[in-house]
Amino acid sequence: MESRQRVVRRNTLLSRLLNAAAAVALALLVYSVIRDNLPDQLRGSWPWKLKFLDIQSATTAALAALGASLARAQYARTVRPALGHSGRAVDGMAPFGQRAWACSLTNAGQDVAVVSEISYLVTLLPAVPGEPSRVPGTWGTALQAIEGIAAEGLEVRKDFMLTVITAGTPLPGQGMRFLGWFTEKAMRVVDEVYIRVQVVDRVGDTHERIIACLKAADRSPAHIDPELS
């Protein structure tokens, strides 16, 4: 279920329009070169009798369009977010001295990204060990995920907690956004919490990744893990 980061939508104006302009400019350059080298009798027939640009102008236009397209692509790589997540066993979050597994969303990129869409999917462990896995639910909001977990007899902010993240939430570059925590009791019920997050970068491209909050979780933590730097 967990997926690598991918681009699900590119900004039409800043991507496709520039690529289209570069393609048109190259086509005009090819046309101008072929037309300029044709015999005079052919140059007067259709479609070669049409003259759009001379070779020098067509070359200038092609270089400018290609340069703009390449510059946009390079800038998009520079501001591209790098979505990931981290988890560790911590003290001091769950009440009554319980140790918990805490998970955070990270953006290791250099620039800020903004959440455009986020959804949650909760999978549960079998009620009795050895029984078939329970059928997972459907993608929904954070509140729906909280309700689904609470329906299994777990208490919010006592056994688990999920942060409600909505569209418009910024993810700072080289920063983290806290997702939630789960106690040992909760991890005996919850198999995994998948979070599908889509973010928009500075050039308007939309990136998506599905993360697994409890991946490699220590479900019976004997000690806390060091804080990530």
| C-alpha dist (Å) from residue 45 to 48, 89, 162 | 6, 78, 71
* DSSP-derived pairing of the beta strands 6-9 and 175-183: unpaired
Strand-pairing partners, residue 11, are: none
pLDDT single digits (tens) 123-164: 999 888 778 777 788 999 999 999 999 999 999 999 999 999
Output the pLDDT for position 102. 96
User: Do residues 8 and 198 lie in contact, with contact meaning Cβ atoms separated by under 8 Å?
Assistant: yes
pLDDT single digits (tens) 58-91: 899 889 989 988 888 888 899 999 999 999 999 9
List the Cα angle 105/109/111 in 5-degree steps: 105
What are the backbone angles phi and psi of residue 129, rounded to the nearest 5°?
Answer: -55, 135
Instruction: Say whether pLDDT at 42 is over 90.
Output: no
pLDDT-based confidence at 226, cuts 50/70/90? Answer: confident
List the Cα angle 219/194/77 in 5-degree steps: 120
Output the pLDDT for position 228. 67
Residues 181, 229: Cα–Cα separation, whole Å: 19
Min mean pLDDT across 2-16, 43-57, 189-203, 213-227 is at 43-57
Instruction: Say whether pLDDT at 229 is over 70.
Output: no
Locate 162 and state its tokens. Answer: 């999920």
